[in-house]
């Protein structure tokens, strides 16, 4: 997988470039185009997923809102956040969408662990979460994903004591992925207070800086890109 660091780039042209890349892939060729990983940072922007509801954006002010074709609800991108866009042919990679999401989340967990932070999955709520009062604690969450028994209704996500530090929203077309994930490093978090992040009322969003971990954007980007290249490999 070829990794490209784009720097700080506007969201809309990047979104268009992802679509164009996938449209031009010749998946039936004897030499199909290589998978790619784009690492970047965006100026302030809200992006709305296909399931997004307007009421989850209640005060965008001067921050643009972009409707996209990814999954999920609304999120915010801004300076101090590492955004990663894996452009992968899942058929060639040999795994399906559910495992793709698991591998992305595992890459984020391993990135956080590199900096001394324990990331957690929450059942029914894609993304990675951190215990705000114990960011390095390894005790598993009670509400982590479990194999559901037949006939047992999954409970609503419980975010008590947690902050969301990484979000993901993906799109798969012709077995190829685009859109991706975002890791909060050292941001102005105020714009998250103008939305219900990922459609959850009062979900607290955090970054590495606010929980006491001083990590540069470049260091976080380098580690995350390495972990993604490792865990998304065929």
CATH number at residue 29: 3.30.930.10
Q: Residue 49 belongs to what domain range?
A: 2-231
Contact criterion met (CB below 8 Å) for 127 and 169: no
**In this structure, are strands 125-131 and 120-122 parallel, antiparallel, or unpaired?**
antiparallel
Helix 217-231 with 97-114: angle, nearest 10 deg: 140
- Ranges of H-type helices in 45-96: 90-93
25/186 Cα distance (integer angstroms): 35
CB 82 within 8 A of CB 183: yes
pLDDT tens-place values along the chain, 234 residues long: 999 999 999 999 999 999 999 988 865 565 567 899 999 999 999 999 998 899 999 999 999 999 999 998 999 999 999 999 999 999 999 999 999 999 999 999 999 999 999 999 999 899 999 999 999 999 998 888 876 555 544 568 889 999 999 999 999 999 999 999 999 999 999 999 999 998 888 789 999 999 999 999 999 999 999 999 999 999
pTM above 0.85, yes or no: yes
182, 81 contact by CB (below 8 A)? yes
Active site residue 40: no
The total number of structural domains in the chain stands at: 1
Catalytic residue among 18, 40, 83, 198: 198
């Amino acid at each position: 997988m070829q990794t490209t660091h784009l720097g700080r780039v506007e969201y809309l042209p990047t979104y268009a470039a992802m679509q164009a890349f996938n449209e031009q892939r010749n998946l039936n060729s004897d030499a199909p185009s290589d998978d790619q990983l784009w690492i970047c940072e965006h100026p302030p922007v809200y992006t709305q997923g296909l399931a997004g509801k307007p009421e989850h954006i209640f005060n965008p002010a001067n921050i643009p809102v972009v409707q996209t074709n990814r999954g999920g609800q609304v999120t915010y991108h801004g300076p101090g956040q590492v955004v990663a866009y894996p452009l992968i042919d899942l058929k060639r990679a040999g795994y399906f969408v559910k495992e793709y999401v698991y591998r992305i989340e595992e890459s984020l967990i391993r990135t956080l662990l590199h900096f001394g932070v324990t990331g957690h999955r929450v059942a029914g709520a894609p993304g990675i979460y951190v215990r705000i009062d114990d960011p390095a604690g390894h005790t598993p969450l009670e509400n982590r994903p479990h194999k559901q028994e037949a006939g047992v209704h999954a409970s609503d996500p419980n975010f008590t004591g947690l902050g969301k530090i990484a979000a993901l929203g993906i799109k798969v077309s012709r077995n190829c992925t685009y859109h991706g994930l975002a890791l909060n490093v050292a941001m102005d978090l105020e714009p998250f207070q103008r939305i219900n992040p990922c459609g959850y009322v009062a979900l607290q969003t955090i970054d590495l800086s606010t929980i006491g971990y001083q990590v540069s954007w470049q260091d976080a980007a380098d580690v995350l890109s390495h972990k993604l290249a490792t865990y998304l490999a065929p």
